[in-house]
């Protein structure tokens, strides 16, 4: 069986009241794909290195969250928050008529996957969570509240800047400068080597200066609203998920799956043969980007087990195939081999 091609995709737009949700649907587009959701300040390019390692019989729909990548921004006067973003999942499902969804999320995308699965567990058939489960704890409450207050002020300043920016182009940078800014903003989780996978969907070419670019994402997403989940609530959310197939991959150098996740993970694990947890040695928060091969070692068998090929739906004459040609050949060989054995047994 083959793997997906990064060049085999269809650009999609899911209508929304504020504009649209942009995405790329990789591979098989004849049946329900895996819905992949990126992390905070990232975009669907975060999955660029993982996509070519996934089995080609199932598609993957990667989306840009509102204000990120090529998705529409929210209207002026609104702000981004984690809880409203949960509604993106059922909105995509409604657009394509899905009654079930398979989720793969990194960071914010993984948190949204956990929240949504706990709210509507009967609509989810599997979850792949990359270096996340819950929002990180606030730490010192006093310092955290000061930070939230400061971000409120910064959000208003950003709105004013954008209003003025309609008349002026935002600050622009060279490509080398952009990679350094991205690395610094991610605490070096996205190294300059892998920055290109994210930059291609979140920068525009400057119309004023040659060979310079500016960030095209909504600056307000930097100040999106998030509060940690109280331990009792996190435990109850995990209980609602019950025996759902759930895979969590953690980077060993990352602190995003910490002690706050121990109780809900223990609940997810209880009497659940479909729960899996792995730690990738040396991995940072963007473990799927810089250690894609290691992640795929766990993700691919998980997908094959919980979303196996639909052998009843392929057409030997059609161009849209559910399985690769090699896989079909092997299946047919096994079929004819069984027929020969049956004939010999009757003689």
Domain ranges of the chain: 9-136+229-306, 315-347
111, 231 in Cβ contact below 8 A?
no
Average pLDDT over residues 224-230: 80
Q: Could you read off the pLDDT of 241-274 as tens digits, one per residue?
A: 999 999 999 999 999 999 999 999 999 999 999 9
Collapsing DSSP states into helix, strand and coil, what is residue 25? strand
Mean pLDDT over residues 307-333, rounded?
Answer: 54
Burial of 68 (0-12, 13-18, 19+ CB in 10 A): buried
Cα maximum dimension of the chain: 87
Nearest one of 111, 102, 12 to 54, comparing CA atoms = 102
107-142 pLDDT, tens digit per residue, is: 999 999 999 999 999 999 999 999 999 998 777 777
The count of residues in the chain is 347
Active site residues: 107
Q: Which of 84-98, 152-166, 205-219 has the lowest mean pLDDT?
A: 152-166
Top-confidence range, 7-11, 74-78, 188-192: 7-11
Q: How confident is the model at residue 340 (pLDDT cuts 50, 70, 90)?
A: low
Q: State the DSSP string of 173-194.
A: B-HHHHHHHHHHHTTTSS-TTT
pLDDT at 48 over 70: yes
Beta strands in 111-245 (DSSP E): 124-130, 203-205, 213-215
Is pTM beyond 0.75? Reply is: yes
CATH class of domain segment(s) 9-136+229-306: alpha beta
Average pLDDT over residues 77-96: 94
CA 328 to chain centre: 30
Report CA-CA distances (Å) from 106 to 50, 286, 299, 338.
12, 8, 13, 44
Q: CA 186 to CA 69: how far, in whole Å?
A: 16
Please identify which residue in the block is written with the tokens 């759930």: 246
How many percent of the chain have pLDDT more than 90? 66
pLDDT of residue 296: 98
Q: How far is CA 4 from CA 11, 44, 285, in A?
A: 16, 16, 24
Confidence class of residue 210 from pLDDT cuts 50, 70 and 90?
A: confident
Q: How confident is the model at residue 287 (pLDDT cuts 50, 70, 90)?
A: very high
């Amino acid at each position: 069986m083959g793997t997906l091609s990064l060049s085999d995709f269809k650009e999609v737009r899911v209508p929304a009241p504020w504009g649209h949700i942009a995405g790329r649907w990789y591979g098989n587009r004849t049946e329900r794909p895996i819905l992949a959701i990126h992390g905070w300040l990232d975009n669907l390019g975060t999955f660029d290195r993982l996509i070519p390692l996934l089995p080609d019989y199932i598609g993957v729909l990667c989306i840009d969250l509102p204000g990120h990548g090529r998705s529409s921004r929210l209207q002026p006067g609104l702000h981004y928050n984690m809880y409203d973003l949960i509604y993106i999942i059922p909105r995509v499902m409604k657009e394509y008529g899905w009654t079930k969804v398979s989720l793969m999320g990194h960071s914010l995308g993984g948190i949204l996957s956990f929240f949504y699965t706990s709210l509507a567990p009967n609509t989810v058939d599997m979850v792949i969570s990359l270096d996340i489960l819950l929002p990180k704890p606030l730490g010192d409450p006093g310092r955290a509240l000061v930070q939230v207050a400061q971000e409120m002020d910064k959000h208003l300043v950003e709105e004013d800047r954008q209003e003025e920016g309609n008349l002026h182009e935002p600050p622009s940078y060279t490509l080398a400068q952009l990679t350094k800014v991205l690395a610094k903003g991610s605490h070096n989780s996205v190294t300059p080597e892998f920055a290109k996978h994210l930059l291609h969907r979140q920068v525009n070419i400057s119309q004023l200066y040659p060979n310079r670019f500016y960030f095209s994402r909504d600056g307000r997403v930097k100040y999106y609203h998030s509060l940690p989940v109280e331990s009792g609530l996190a435990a109850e959310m995990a209980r609602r998920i019950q025996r759902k197939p759930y895979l969590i991959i953690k980077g060993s150098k990352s602190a995003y799956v910490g002690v706050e996740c121990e109780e809900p993970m223990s609940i997810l694990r209880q009497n659940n043969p479909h729960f899996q947890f792995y730690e990738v040695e040396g991995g940072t928060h963007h473990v799927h980007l810089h250690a894609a091969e290691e992640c795929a070692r766990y993700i691919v068998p998980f997908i094959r087990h919980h979303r196996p090929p639909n052998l009843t739906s392929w057409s030997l004459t059609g161009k849209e195939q559910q399985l690769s040609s090699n896989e079909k050949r092997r299946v047919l060989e096994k079929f004819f081999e069984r027929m020969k054995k049956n004939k010999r047994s009757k003689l």
